[in-house]
Amino acid sequence: MARTVTDVLQPRNVLLAGMLAIGLAAAGDWTGIPWGLLGATHAGIIPAAYIEWERTRGTWGDRHVVDRTKRAPIFVVILASIGVGSAIMVLGHAPTGILLAMIALWAMTVILLAVNAIWKISVDSAVASAVVALLAAVQSPWWLLAYLLTVAVCWSRVALTYHTIAQTVAGASLGAATAAVYLLA
């Protein structure tokens, strides 16, 4: 069960669904869907493709990259990819809400990289929490009910012994803080 939860609710999938919904909410109509897809591509799909490429080259055993000392290149790819996606959004006059979500995810990734230098924080938990917090900020507080899915992600990461409870709570807390960009904007 834990394997299924962690695979279904992996960052790539959560970002794909979440960024589409954030784009839709930010634009107020269907025109936000392509912006959400662009955000999902740069925040989740490109980084996941990079991880898969490195995995097939034998760099890592699987997508989880359990050795935190090998994670820095992933964070650099994520930062660059989100940066490029954000630049495209600025140039294309994307709705403010989706651009703010990208900036929030970029800032979260900077903190994940910094923390990862000394401690193994849960990226899966951070992303699951960030998407819920961003959806609640952009669309409706009812999205906070989706924190049950974040709790499931945290549980699965601990059950699979990829993280400790503290590492998942720290990741989820950081993810929740990403919504602060909407309070500050």
Helix and strand totals (H; E) in the chain:
10, 0
Taken in order 45, 47, 49, 55, is the CA torsion positive or negative?
A: negative
Asked if residues 172 and 105 have their Cβ atoms less than 8 Å apart, the reply is no
Res 149: pLDDT: 97
Output the DSSP codes for 82-102: HHHHHHHHHHTT--HHHHHHH
Residue 185: pLDDT above 80?
no
144 confidence band (pLDDT: 50, 70, 90): very high
Taken in order 36, 40, 41, 42, is the CA torsion positive or negative?
A: positive
d(CA 178, CA 131): 9
Count of the separate structural domains present in the chain: 1
Can you give the residue range of the structural domain that contains 68?
Answer: 2-184
Res 83: pLDDT: 98
d(CA 122, CA 162): 8
Percentage, residues of the chain above pLDDT 70? 99
**Which position has the higher pLDDT, 112 or 71?**
112
Q: What is the pLDDT of residues 48-85, one digit of tens each?
A: 999 999 888 887 777 777 777 888 899 999 999 999 99
Res 183: pLDDT: 72
